[in-house]
């Protein structure tokens, strides 16, 4: 066991994929199972298994974006959620809402509010990693108390960017290396961000965190505008690929609580009821008219195990997926 622990400490991140544990270092991948471990110098040991895993994050842009632009490039975008932005190289000038533009240098991170239009001007060629904080990511009580104080800040309070410490830099390096090699496991992506959030909450003074997180609350109160048409279009567009309320809420740039409220207001039913019904219709249509295999369909519709998908079909349609495909009816 001591050898295993030593290897884990040396390699860093742990990502659970199916029945194996993959440990990623920049060039070395180690796979542990119940009897032995194998060391190989390659990128990803079982890409097919990873792509078929229910935790595979096909739409990575719902969690993060990596923006690489040349000097002089200017772009205007909209945040897809409360955003932590890491400038790993270059120099930029950014602004959002009616706030004064700020200069950010390499090695800095800053936060932007949910559903807010922002402008980026790359003074020097650079790379900006934008992470959209997921509902599953927990903040410690220290920051929650800071957030409470921030609610009393004036909307014009100047936000700050902070320098990344060595822990954040090293974690981002592991993150980008793994993503470059094709690792898009949702559990891995969330664990990395939880790690970074812990470093932010732990290693920076409270007065700095108050200013750093102030844009979140400023954005929620002043710049978050609900657009019913955009909301409805987003929900309908993702109805056949997203079957989790929290994930759908993130796509609409709302908290889960706000999403449930808005959803009932627009669709006159709860999101869970609507999404379950849409999933049921999608599965039946795919079984009777589509070309996806039963395994592909079960993975796409959020079933971790094929046996669960079979039970679902028997419960909802009264028959097995194969019989439905042959001409069975509900």
| Domain ranges within the chain, ordered by starting residue | 2-52, 61-222, 226-330
Q: Three-state secondary structure along the chain?
A: CHHHHHHHHHHCCEEEECCEEEEECCCCEEEECCCCEEEECCCCCCHHHHHHCCCECCCHHHCEEEEEECCCCEEEEECCCCEEEEEEEEEEEEEECCCCCEEEECCEEEEECCCCEEEEEEEEEEEEEEEECCCCCCCCHHHHHHHHHHCCCCCCCCCCCEECCHHHHHHHHHHHHHHHCCCCEHHHHHHHHHHHHHHHHHHCCHHHHHHHHHHHHHHHHHCCCCCHHHHHHHHHHCCCCCCCHHHHHHHCCCCHHHHHHHHHHHHCCCHHHHHHHHHHHHHHHHHHHCCCCHHHHHHHCCCCCHHHHHHHHHHHHCCCHHHHHCCCCC
Say which range, 13-17, 122-126, 241-245, has the weakest mean pLDDT.
Answer: 13-17
Q: Among residues of the chain, what percentage have pLDDT more than 70?
A: 72
CATH of domain 226-330: 1.10.10.60
Q: pLDDT value at position 181?
A: 85
Q: Which is more confident, 124 or 208?
A: 124
Q: Is residue 220's pLDDT more than 70?
A: no
**What is the average pLDDT score of the chain?**
76
**Band of pLDDT at residue 247, cut at 50, 70 and 90:** confident
Q: Which CATH number fits domain 61-222: 2.60.120.10, 3.50.50.60, 3.30.56.10, 3.20.20.140?
A: 2.60.120.10
Mean pLDDT of 198-224: 71
Question: Tokens standing for 319?
Answer: 């028959």
Q: pLDDT value at position 122?
A: 94
Distance from chain centroid for Cα 231: 19
pLDDT in tens, 65-113: 899 999 999 998 888 777 899 999 999 998 876 677 889 999 999 988 7
Q: pLDDT value at position 98?
A: 67
Say which range, 2-16, 148-162, 186-200, has the weakest mean pLDDT.
Answer: 2-16
If one counts every other C-beta atom within 10 angstroms of the C-beta of residue 98, the result is 9
**Band of pLDDT at residue 144, cut at 50, 70 and 90:** low
pLDDT in tens, 25-47: 333 334 433 333 333 334 455 66
Q: pLDDT value at position 1?
A: 46
Nearest to 111 by CA among 146, 141, 73: 146
Q: Which is more confident, 143 or 150?
A: 143
Mean pLDDT of 296-322: 89
CA distances from 295 to 10, 53, 284, 292, 315 (A): 37, 11, 14, 8, 18
Q: Is residue 265's pLDDT more than 70?
A: yes
Highest mean pLDDT out of 124-128, 204-208, 237-241? 124-128
Q: pLDDT value at position 143?
A: 60
Rounded Cα distance, 241 and 324, in Å: 21
Q: Among residues of the chain, what percentage have pLDDT more than 90?
A: 25
**Band of pLDDT at residue 168, cut at 50, 70 and 90:** very high
Indicate the Cα dihedral angle 260, 261, 265, 268, nearest 10°.
40
């Amino acid at each position: 066991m001591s050898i295993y622990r030593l290897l884990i400490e040396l390699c860093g991140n742990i990502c659970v994929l199916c029945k194996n544990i993959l440990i990623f270092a920049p060039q070395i991948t180690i796979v542990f199972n119940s009897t032995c471990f194998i060391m190989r110098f390659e990128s990803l040991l079982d890409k097919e298994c990873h792509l078929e895993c229910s935790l595979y994050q096909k739409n990575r842009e719902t969690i993060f974006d990596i923006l690489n632009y040349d000097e002089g490039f200017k772009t205007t975008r909209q945040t897809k959620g409360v955003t932590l932005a890491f400038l790993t190289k270059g120099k930029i000038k950014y602004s959002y809402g009616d706030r004064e533009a700020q200069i950010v240098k390499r090695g800095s991170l800053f936060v932007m509010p949910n559903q807010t239009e922002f402008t980026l001007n790359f003074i020097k060629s650079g790379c900006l990693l934008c992470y959209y904080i997921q509902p599953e990511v927990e903040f410690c009580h220290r920051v929650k108390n800071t957030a409470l104080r921030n609610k009393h800040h004036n909307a014009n309070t100047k936000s700050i960017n902070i320098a990344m410490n060595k822990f954040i830099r090293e974690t981002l390096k592991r993150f980008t290396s793994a993503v470059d090699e094709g690792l898009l496991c949702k559990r891995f992506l969330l664990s990395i961000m939880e790690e970074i959030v812990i470093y932010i909450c732990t290693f920076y003074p409270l007065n700095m965190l108050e200013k750093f997180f102030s844009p979140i609350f400023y954005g929620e109160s002043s710049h978050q505008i609900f657009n019913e048409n955009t909301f409805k279009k987003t929900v309908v567009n993702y109805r056949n690929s997203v079957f989790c309320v929290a994930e759908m809420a993130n796509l609409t740039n709302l908290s889960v609580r706000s999403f449930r409220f808005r959803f009932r207001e627009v669709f006159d039913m709860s999101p869970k009821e609507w999404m379950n019904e849409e999933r049921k219709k999608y599965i039946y249509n795919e079984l009777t008219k589509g070309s996806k295999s039963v395994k592909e369909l079960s993975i796409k519709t959020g079933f971790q195990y094929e046996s669960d998908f079979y039970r679902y079909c028997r419960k909802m349609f009264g028959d097995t997926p194969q019989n439905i495909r042959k001409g069975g009816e509900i």
